[in-house]
Amino acid sequence: MSSPSPSSPSAPVPQTPAGGTSPESDAVPEASPLRPGIQAVVVVLAALAVYIPALGLGFVYDDFPLVEANPWIRSPAWLGDIFTQQIFGFIPNAEGSQAFYRPLVHVLLMVIHGVAGMATWAYHLAPVLLHATASLTVWALARRMAAGSTATALAAGLLFAVHPVHVEAVAWVSALMDVSAATAGLGMLWLLTSRPLSPLRAVAGAVLWLVAALFKEPAVLLLPMLAAWELMATGPTHAGVWRERALRFGPLGVAVLLYAVLRLNAVGWASVNSGWDTVPRGIAFLNTFPLLAHHASLLLWPAVLSVFHPFEPATSVVDGRVLAGVAVALGMGAGLVMLRRRAPAAWLGLAWLALPLLPALHLRALSESAVAERYLYLPSAGFCLLAAFAWGTVARLARPAVAWAFGLAVLLGATARTQAQVGTWQSDVTLWVNAVESSPVAVTPLVQLGDALLRAGETEEAILALERARELKPEHLNAANQLARAYVDAGRPAEARELMKAAVRAHPDASGFHFVLGLAHKRLGEKEAALVSFQEAARLSPSSGDALLELGEALVALGRAAEALPPLEEAMKRLADASRAHRALAQAHRALNHEDQARAHERSAQGSP
């Protein structure tokens, strides 16, 4: 359900003594010469202009399982599964995402697929349009909170529209959940902070909260964000205030209950399982401060942007990152104390920055990426409000021309940085080249770059990246696996065999090592050895279509066609492109004199995608 358009908000209502705030409590610069309607158009056009190039981007990273290999988005028949399973429930044994309940992501992707098939521009258009809507809503909220200062509202809306930290969320299809949740959530805040509050707006706001929560779990922080506004905007309580609160929060209570029922039914009490949950609780708490410092730096000075931000947990209170985070926390705490009465709207911006940032500071609950720019999409709304009000203060103390020149310089610089970063999301190769340039001594970007280069057919370049990764961290399992694959593709199977033999001795339960060892044996013509490796890979990973396919083909090559049929038939069910499995089945059936079955599989192979 889309957010009601904030393009025509009710006129800002200065708070009366009952509200506890007056227009004078947040001094702002002179009003912009642009009328509100024109400002709204300017904000939307700015958001669209910086991200129009995103329509030419391809799929990258998690887009392949979430979009290309996702059966759920291809038919409404899957809606039952979508609302009763975790986000990657269509992938067998997807344990890392077992706590993520985000059904509306699949519903939105289903709508896009129904309209445009697999055209990548359509999947990129959705987050661009959502970002434009979110930018407009930030402008509308700022206009309301700034008690009529259209200049402050314009500054907030434009900064949100072009802030470089949003590139990951808007340019990456897999981050559609972040943009969708934030857009719905901002719409909910705009609806529920209106006065007088009508029952229709109260219900619509609750629905938008539910929509946001069904896109991504951090939307639950919208509730304390709304409470913060209530604290800012409400003065002495009386019967009318309590009636309004009941109207504002009553439907939200129903929405929360419905969300809890849906979530518990789908994932129960599952928690995030990413590896960070093994960090001791004391160390996890200590790392709240490095995480805070890193995210604050991305908001204030987004010079280094990347899909990968290396993070090693701090273990000492005198670690520089801990001290920097403590300084940021003290500054934010002081701001919340000092601004509460002096500048309530600025205080609200700071509160709206801090509250939705909390999940990104809980290391044990984070997914694989401890630091990610997409985590800042919703918190940045509060940051942009705070920055706009701060700019208003500067405009009061300096000449208006100086303030406007400074603001324009910031916006132009942010726009240029955003446009430059959008291009890095063109493909997996460009994405990970950027990550390697940003973190040249980190292993993960080198391994991911090697994998991307392999898939792009640039084998020699892949080997260079993967060998560099092995130099930095010889024990890195995925680096060894991918390097052996690259050696096989480069016609160096003997080197791959020796590398994987050592890996299998060290990690005998790693199915991937047995699989690549089998590929090396196969390329060397060692059929019996290849069969043994593929049998072990299939035993350790019985749901792997690739392992089952190679096992079946190895059996056919050894003249054991009857034994090859079961693994090949299972591989045919599990592989997105089953043409190779059909060809192997045709060969096996022909060896068994099953001519009709052989011809049927040959026809299927020709018609497979």
Confidence band of 148 (pLDDT split at 50, 70, 90) = low
Q: Average per-residue pLDDT in the chain? A: 90
**Among 420, 491, 532, 448, CA closest to 164:** 420
> Look-up: residue for tokens 């202009």?
49
The packing angle between helices 379-397 and 120-145, to 10°, is 50
Containing 402, the helix (H) or strand (E) segment is helix 400-422
- Does the pLDDT at position 511 exceed 50? yes
**Please, is 596 exposed, middle or buried when counting C-beta atoms within 10 Å of its C-beta (0-12, 13-18, 19+)?**
exposed
Mean pLDDT value of segment 292-312: 95
pLDDT at 392 over 90: no
Find all residues with CB under 8 Å of 161, minimum gap 6, and list them.
43, 44, 46, 47, 50, 131, 132, 135
Contact at 8 Å (CB) between 73 and 67? yes
Q: Which is more confident, 95 or 343?
A: 343
pLDDT tens digits, residue range 338-370? 999 889 999 999 999 999 999 999 998 887 789
Q: pLDDT at residue 138 above 90?
A: yes
Torsion of CA 318, 324, 330, 335, to 10 degrees: 180
State the sign of the Cα–Cα–Cα–Cα dihedral 230, 232, 233, 236: positive
The tally of CA atoms less than 13 A away on the side-chain side of residue 326 is: 10
**What is the tens place of the pLDDT at every residue in 3-51?**
333 333 333 333 333 333 433 334 445 545 678 889 999 999 999 999 9
Burial class (CB in 10 A: 0-12, 13-18, 19+), 105: buried
For residue 235, what pLDDT band results from cuts at 50, 70 and 90? low
What distance in Å separates the CA atoms of residue 31 and residue 161, rounded to the nearest whole number? 20
Residue 237: pLDDT band (50, 70, 90) is low
For residues 276 and 143, the model is more confident at 143
Mean pLDDT of 400-417: 92
Answer whether 0.75 is exceeded by the pTM: yes
- Per-residue confidence at 174, pLDDT binned at 50, 70, 90? very high
| CB contact at 8 A, 298 and 306 | no
Paired tokens of 605: 């192979």
For the chain, give the percent of residues with pLDDT over 90: 78
**Angstrom distance (rounded) from CA 333 to CA 398:** 27
Query: In 236-378, where does DSSP find H-type helix?
Result: 239-267, 281-286, 288-300, 320-342, 344-357
The phi, psi pair for 338, rounded to 5°, reads -75, -35
Cβ atoms 172, 63 nearer than 8 A: yes
